[in-house]
Structure 1
């Protein structure tokens, strides 16, 4: 039979949930309806009922796919763009084939090296004899893709605009990308002319926009990029547009798949990964009184290890990602590894490593009996006094902060900004 104190605690929890629901719904992967169900399930069945719902959401997150279609004329830089977005060089294993002639005869998928649920699709150029414009989308399996990127290296063609209109008619988003901007600026300088970069970029952008408007595309947005310097020009604006055009979960998947070319991207990744922590903490075990120093900790090391490995991959700190980055920037991988300060990157994450980290966390957190509710999503108020939740949440939060800090140092060492740690764009 439930005691009075337990009923009082449950009533207090319900009140906290009501206060937090509006704010928390903006920082989780749950809809308002799902948050209401979490509260209802907890009221009726306690933690075990809630854990079932949370596990279903984690499974959904892990299985969500993102398919990006990249199309354009021959030589526009489609393959180079796909490789750059995956953090690969043209001669890396699994890289999209780069050539000056049309090498893509069928839609070819290239999975992200660390996040296999993310796939970039290299589509044949529209308007060829094999792929006439009026049959293109059907042959390309239009419904398979979350959005389209239409790339041009000079000017957008009539076929590009036809494709854009058809994509819009069928209810998908498309984005015009003008590539090889670095080549345009280099050519301008090579001819011995004075080059105001900002004016030149505006001229190129305005010319593309006006031509697209003449072809019947109202209010087009054109993003100028270099496939070899993704941190420059309009890449951040393109990312913002792509993020805003995706539903919440797919937006998160896209952000985590971005190449680590700026400190801004790494900070975005930290925020996205933090959203998962409370769910992992919820699944780590039952609830109980917050332990004091000297009392054994209760958490699921398997869940914690899985999340830390996921953090490392998303932040580009696994060995394969570090090797690829070192090759891309032409520096020894040892130089990049030398700036990593967290032991979570060195070697395998084992239960012993987790235990050492956990006991370190108790020294910091022993006096913090209640979690800061303004930093935890709605479910945090349910488990504020739970030992497993408490320590898993604190441990994963600390691990994520340590890994993000090391990822930032690696990015600065790779791109030569060691002396400017406050810079948000790694150049």
Structure 2
């Protein structure tokens, strides 16, 4: 909108990213004919879809390439965690095994048995693995390109599925070269490995392969972050959301990205609050639907890894104590979330008059009109925005302490 500040400008496709064009048109039509009450059904349906949509990621390759270790790195678990994918020096995966994300259970990584092993020769592998149920595939390799990896790529392409070729254990390559006393130019070595993978995939008919060189133990080097960004960008909006929220909190940027993603559907929750009626909160001049508030704040806390289990996992990974991590979080954010917590923290208390323009929602169809639905919408939006900011700021401080970031 002309004249708006950069902080207020909101891209419509971003703000309404979870709705199709047809759904947005229906929102507008329903509101014009029946007001907030009529748009409630579509928004409730969309929120259920956000909660229930599943993401199934297949991790496949030859035995011993580090598939299990990769999965554990992606979901933020140590290999010794009882819920972690089993890893070892011998073949440990006898059947396709799903590993749900520890806090986002609708995200599941599937560790497929190694192709080409005695138990799963290539000819039988494709029949037994039910490739069609997965959203995309990650082919893990740890050495020279193998024939079976080419067969995997061909079969996945035939099924019309996306796949990403990941060469793991790059750190081990450089370790071996140093132990042999070789002079190392890391950039040249990485280029040679990458080119070999690309050329071999092209030979089996994959003209534009996606190839990444990573170490599952050193996620801030090589292509680990680029892999995550590519997977995120290639997913449709709703699955992109759950993939982002399943990131382990390894950096300030990841936490902030989660915060922006969660902000995108606060307006939907506020609309429901405006439609289902208001329950007064003592100490606030306006009213909200308390159950919507509490459920959303607990969900935000879990997504930002501030719940007890997530803090313990981070402590285990970084060798920090849980007490050190909790020390930088507002105490009330770690306690039971109820109406008294909301009042005590003063979320939304300063709001008197809010406009659609001021909160940056003017670009979403219908929202300007919904704002006139009453104080419940306004206060719910304000409280959830304040709560999300507090939670995001606390999660940033936790990451800084955990990883020693200044």
Normalised to the residue count of structure 1, the TM-score between the two structures is: 0.86
1:220 lines up with 2:209 in the alignment: yes
Q: Which residue in the other structure is 2:7 paired with?
A: none
Cα 1:361/1:241, change in 2 over 3 Å: same
Q: Which residue in the other structure is 1:199 paired with?
A: 188
Identify which of 352, 355, 379 aligns with 1:391.
379
For the residues of structure 2 that align with 1:331 and 1:233, how far apart are their CA atoms?
25
For the residues of structure 1 that align with 2:342 and 2:284, how far apart are their CA atoms?
16
For the residues of structure 2 that align with 1:287 and 1:328, how far apart are their CA atoms?
43
Q: Displacement of 1:235 after TM fit?
A: 1.6
Identify which of 314, 336, 352 aligns with 1:366.
352
1:246 lines up with 2:246 in the alignment: no
Instruction: Note if contact 2:356-2:367 (Cα within 8 Å) is conserved in structure 1.
Output: no
SS at match of 1:80: helix
1:316-331 paired onto structure 2 within 5 Å: 316-331=305-320
Cα 1:166/1:360, change in 2 over 3 Å: closer
1:168-317 paired onto structure 2 within 5 Å: 168-286=157-275, 296-317=285-306
Question: Which is worse superposed, 269-278 or 192-201?
Answer: 192-201
Q: Displacement of 1:369 after TM fit?
A: 5.0
Identify which of 100, 115, 119 aligns with 1:111.
100
Instruction: Note if contact 1:173-1:245 (Cα within 8 Å) is conserved in structure 2.
Output: no
Identify which of 15, 40, 60 aligns with 1:51.
40
Instruction: Note if contact 2:255-2:304 (Cα within 8 Å) is conserved in structure 1.
Output: yes
Question: Which is worse superposed, 122-131 or 146-155?
Answer: 122-131
Identify which of 68, 75, 83 aligns with 1:86.
75
For the residues of structure 2 that align with 1:263 and 1:121, how far apart are their CA atoms?
28
1:410 lines up with 2:398 in the alignment: yes
Instruction: Note if contact 1:79-1:96 (Cα within 8 Å) is conserved in structure 2.
Output: yes
Paired residues in the alignment total: 392
Identify which of 79, 84, 90 aligns with 1:95.
84
For the residues of structure 1 that align with 2:319 and 2:128, how far apart are their CA atoms?
40
Q: Which residue in the other structure is 1:9 paired with?
A: none
Cα 1:339/1:170, change in 2 over 3 Å: same
Instruction: Note if contact 2:347-2:383 (Cα within 8 Å) is conserved in structure 1.
Output: no
For the residues of structure 2 that align with 1:174 and 1:360, how far apart are their CA atoms?
44
Deviations 1:224-275 (A, max 9, x none): 1111122321122111221222211111111111111122222221121111
For the residues of structure 2 that align with 1:353 and 1:169, how far apart are their CA atoms?
54
Q: Which residue in the other structure is 2:6 paired with?
A: none
Unaligned runs of 5+ in 2: 1-9
- Alignment root-mean-square deviation, CA: 2.3
Q: Displacement of 1:131 after TM fit?
A: 2.4
Normalised to the residue count of structure 2, the TM-score between the two structures is: 0.90
Deviations 1:4-40 (A, max 9, x none): xxxxxxxxxxxxxxxxxx9424432000100000000
Cα 1:214/1:370, change in 2 over 3 Å: closer
